[in-house]
Structure 1
Amino acid sequence: MMFFDQTVVRVRAGVRIDRGGNQIPDWSADAVSRQTILEVNVQPTTASEATTPERVAVVTGWHLQSPPGVDVDVTAMDRIEWAGMLLEVVGEVARWFDPLDGTVHHVEFDLVRATG
């Protein structure tokens, strides 16, 4: 049975203009927006380690799912704060639709943290 008892914070970059006049993401503390997302399920998925003489790189992954009937405001460009970590959204956010009424049944996406 899956439990939806975890809380995450969606972190979305603001926008700034670079020297070339292009809009680029601004991850500075004053520019980001945060939204608390309640009652999700986060589970571990993968872990890998690569060792070189210069460093040890560790990549850890998680999978987030919302409960039935709940859509969440998260995109592939966002980051997620959870369990004291800042995680990257990997790939697109999957919205699964109810075949009977066409509304979002639930949302799923993967997260990753790379250290080292």
Structure 2
Amino acid sequence: PRTVTVTSSEVVEALAEPLQSIVEAVHALLEKTPPELASDISEQGIVMVGGGALLNGMDRLIQEHTKIPVHVMEDAVSCVALGTGRVLEALDLYGAVALKSYARGEAFEG
């Protein structure tokens, strides 16, 4: 094994394309958001969770491109697991919502 030093500018360059895709996806999602919800998002802001939320400057990038305040949760990584757990605990409720969204073609492709 050997040690390789990677500069922050190299990391930024490597992430440029995926980050652009994320920004475009956020824009697309906001465009499909119903007006009453879009108004709430504009006022309250976007809440980021998950490991990607912890990327240095990710919140600023999305805020600059959307002109909407962005908030990163304190324990962003755990929020995903906790939220998933809550959905699984109430699958009878959330499962129906997910199936309706999927049937309307609103599911994310992965």
| TM-score of the aligned structures, taking structure 2 as reference length | 0.30
| TM-score of the aligned structures, taking structure 1 as reference length | 0.29
Structure with greater contact order relative to length (CA < 8 Å, sep ≥ 6) = 1
Query: Could you say which structure has the higher helix fraction?
Result: 2
